Amino acid sequence: MDWGIKNRLSKLIQPDGHCFFLPIDHGYFQGPTRCLEEPGQTIKPLLPFCDALFVTRGVLRSCVDAAASKPIILRVSGGTSMVGKDLANEGLTTSIEEIIRLNATAVGVSVFVGSDYEHQTLLNLSQLVNKCEDYGIPVMAVTAVGKEMEKRQARYLALSCRIAAELGARVVKTYWCDKDFDKVVKGCPVPVVMAGGPKCKNELEVLEFVYDGMQNGAIGINLGRNVWQNAHPVAMARALWAIIHENATVKGAHELFNEVKNSKK
Ligand code: 5RP
């Protein structure tokens, strides 16, 4: 691996081999998502407990302090909305010059395997890899399912992750699943990071799935709503950090969640 890409990946994936990415890119198709109406305010107390931000160029420029930030994974696909016809109909939104100008540590692009836009979004990924590898910038592929949340089964996720890796993604972000998640990870030759999805019913459920995913080979998380839509986002981020970087058990992380939550009262 060339020095530049190795150096960028080392800013995202910590010496323990794990990572906690905080996505705040939801507005690119959802608009002002609950608790993310003012992204700058949302991230302020959470920055100490994440390794990178996943964000679009618009929010990066207007809401993220360039002098006191975390490494940036720039979201560079989009062009659809919640009220449009099909969330899968994405294109690439950001040029390589802009990616370099914004000093992105990595970029993220969604692929929608099995959708009407499978070919288009897989070529988005391939073309982005072609451009970014020239400059040593790693590409993270997001195996997106749009509104079809029922697709989140091992067989489908394994297929999507493997294709994304074959096309050149350096990291793949996918959903955790309760059955055979280890097979999803084993079939993917590059590191796998877990996405969050809609808010779980309680924090224990989040801690449990993250712990299980880490035990089954994921290297970390890219979790948004289950962090900043929690009533106690700092406690949640701290507890997740403990699982990702401090080998905490679910019980230990939950105790830490309660400790931090109660200390803030
Ligand atoms: C949407 C994305 C988002 O970055 C990410 O999945 C959202 O995070 P979460 O689901 O945890 O709120 O890639 O496709």
The single residue listed with the structure tokens 């997106």 is: 144
The predicted pLDDT at position 147 comes to 67
The enclosing domain of 94 has a CATH number of 3.20.20.70
Q: What secondary structure, in 3-state letters, does 12-48 show?
A: HCCCCCCEEEEECCCHHHHCCCCCCCCHHHHHCCCHH
**What local confidence, expressed as pLDDT, does residue 265 receive?**
62
| Closest by Cα among 202, 197, 199, 129 to 164 | 129
Residue 190 identity (one-letter amino acid) = V
What pLDDT shows up at residue 223? Answer: 96
- Determine the Cα–Cα distance for residues 158 and 148; give it in Å rounded to an integer: 16
Q: How far is the CA of 216 from the centre of ligand 1 (A)?
A: 21
Domain hosting 134: range is 3-229
pLDDT in tens, 173-199: 999 999 999 999 999 999 999 998 777
Query: Considering only CA atoms, which of 211, 202, 198, 221 is closest in space to residue 148?
Result: 198
Q: Which mutation among 26, 112, 157 tests ligand 1's pocket best, with the greatest number of atoms within 8 A of CB?
A: 26
Widest distance between CA atoms in the chain: 51
Calpha distance 259→62 (Å, rounded)? 34
Evaluate: CB of 54 within 6 angstroms of ligand 1.
yes
Atom of ligand 1 nearest to the CA of 199: 12
Asked if residue 223 has its Cβ within 6 Å of ligand 1, the reply is yes
> For the chain, what's the residue count?
265
Q: Are the CB atoms for 98 and 5 separated by under 8 Å?
A: no
10-residue averages of pLDDT along the chain (265 residues): 95 98 97 96 97 98 94 98 96 98 98 97 98 98 82 92 98 96 98 88 94 98 96 97 98 98 83
Q: Is 38 inside a domain boundary?
A: yes
CB of 75 closer than 8 Å to CB of 28: yes
Catalytic sites, residue numbers: 173
* Total count of domains within the chain: 1
Name residue, tokens 């900043």: 228
Residue to mutate, 20, 25, 111, ligand 1, most ligand atoms under 8 Å from C-beta = 25
142 CB less than 6 Å from ligand 1?
yes
- Which residue's CA is the nearest one to ligand 1's atom 10? 197
Is 255 part of any domain? no
54 within some domain: yes
Report yes or no: 51 and 19 within 8 Å, Cβ to Cβ: yes
Task: Name which residue sits closest to atom 14 of ligand 1, judged by CA.
Answer: 144
The pTM of the full predicted model, rounded to 2 decimals, is 0.96
The number of CA neighbours under 13 Å toward the Cβ of 158 is 12
Does 140 sit in the ligand 1 pocket, CB within 6 Å? no
Residue 89 lies in a domain: yes
Q: Is residue 150 part of a domain?
A: yes
Asked, for residue 243, whether it belongs to a domain, the answer is no
- Nearest to residue 219, comparing CAs of 167, 169, 165, 171? 171
